[in-house]
Amino acid sequence: MKYYIIAGERSADLHGSNLIRALKRNDVNAHIRFWGGDLMVQAGGELVVHYQSLSLMGFWEVLKHLFKMIRFMKFCQKDLIAFQPDVLILMDFAGFNLRVAKFAKKKGLRVFYYISPKIWAWKASRVKTIKKYVDKMFVILPFEKDFYKKHHYQVDYVGNPLVERVKHFRPNPNFLENNQLDGRPIIAVLPGSRKQEVRLILKIMLSLCEKFYNYQFVIAGVDNVERDQYLMTQDKENLKVVFNQTYDLLFKAQAAVVTSGTATLETALFDIPQVVCYKTSFLTYWIGKSFLKVDHISLVNLIAGKKVVTELIQRDLNSVALTKELEQIIDNSPKRNDMLKNYQEIKEILGDYNTADYLSELMVNYLKKL
């Protein structure tokens, strides 16, 4: 069968690559064309557009690039019609993908969605669009199944792919030596994978270095952010940057400061106490706050259904507050121990699935029936 996948973000590239491999195992005749990244390229298939061309954060940032996104949409529509896939598989990236879903469904194409848009956080009205234009939805957060059930739409929970990835991770025994790290305890700094996040949040995170000089702070750098974004690290003795070694870093860390996103859950799965940070442009924050329908923004707290980790958002994200929160979790304190206990409960809620294989089997079986 022919599969057309649209993964518009870095985290979706990883999950998309696992899905491609699993589809090939379950369908020996799989012909896959996709929008994604380097990991999906390595898994096989035909790359159409790299996600770096699409990666935007927030309302204002998207608005500034509106005409660029319109051009991508028109190109996508033409490419879909030319390829004529048996199924279009969309991954998160709601603003773009839901429009593609509407177009594809009207053209008679089957539409699957893997990794639900966060419509439970805002724009719950998009449920109507999903019910109308998406044939099957596959979710990776347990509470999403209950959310859709309330709206009379059946979805499949396929487990969270990060659980499997962390479970099978094998650390590099030479990580410290290779990166010239000494014996001081490590505080992991995860500033995000988007340029806007790094620009707004990293400087505040690095203010910690002068106050915790007995620790070494290590930034988890990523390739899709220009390396000069990390230049502010050069004048700090207890600060280093490592690139594309986030899991090795978390494996060695004593605590972490993390930009809200997928990384908060990864940090929890490694049992690393953390402070969650989030900051965006004023306009994006103001609009987002007006529509926000949840009490928390981090995946850790959302999955637990309660406050497990502290979230410092917008004005609350400052050096004083961040210092205070980090002090409470770096030593053997009640707050640190409670956080680790709650992490275990989160792991039980998520369950233990072989996500990619389970997902691909469901997809192939559904396609045979539709």
CATH of residue 124: 3.40.50.2000
Same domain, 215 and 147: no
Assess whether 14 and 28 both reside in one domain.
yes
CA dihedral (226, 227, 230, 231) in degrees, to 10, reads: -120
The pLDDT of residue 236: 83
Same-domain status, 358 and 260: no
Kindly state whether residues 25 and 136 are assigned to the same domain. yes
Are 310 and 362 found together in one domain? no
pLDDT score at 82: 98
Average pLDDT value for residue range 208-237? 85
With beta carbons less than 8 A apart as the criterion, state whether 8 and 342 touch. no
Q: What is the structure's pLDDT at 69? A: 82
Distance CA 336, CA 254 (A): 11
Does 11 share its domain with 130?
Answer: yes
Q: What is the pLDDT of residue 57?
A: 46
For 104-155, the pLDDT digits (tens) are 999 999 999 999 998 887 777 889 999 999 999 999 999 999 999 999 999 9
**Contact residues for 62 (Cβ-Cβ < 8 A; gap 6+):** 56, 69, 95
Same domain, 360 and 312: no
Residues 79 and 140 in one domain: yes
Backbone conformation region of residue 318, classed left if phi is above 0, alpha if psi is from -120 to 50, else beta: beta
Q: Is a pLDDT exceeding 80 seen at residue 59?
A: no
pLDDT at 233: 61
Judge contact between 189 and 257, C-beta under 8 A: yes
- What pLDDT is attached to residue 288? 55
What is the reported pLDDT for 11? 81
Say if residue 134 is in the same domain as residue 176. Answer: no
Tally of domains in the chain = 2
Q: Which range (66-75, 82-91, 256-265, 299-308) has the least confidence?
A: 66-75
**Do 17 and 153 belong together in one domain?**
yes
137 and 10 within one domain: yes
Q: Whole-model pTM?
A: 0.88
Q: How high is the pLDDT of residue 367?
A: 95
**Reported confidence tier of residue 60, pLDDT bands at 50, 70, 90:** very low
**Average pLDDT rounded to a whole number, residues 85-107:** 95
Give the tens place of pLDDT for each residue, 6-25: 998 888 999 999 999 999 99
How many Å apart are CA 161 and CA 21, to the nearest integer? 14
Asked if 144 and 235 sit in the same domain, the reply is: no
What rounded mean pLDDT belongs to the chain?
91
pLDDT tens-place string over residues 154-212: 999 999 999 999 999 999 999 999 999 999 999 999 998 877 778 889 999 999 999 99
Query: Is the model's pLDDT at 292 over the cut of 80?
Result: no
For 58, the domain range is: 2-159+353-369
pLDDT of residue 65: 65
Query: Residue 289 pLDDT more than 80?
Result: no
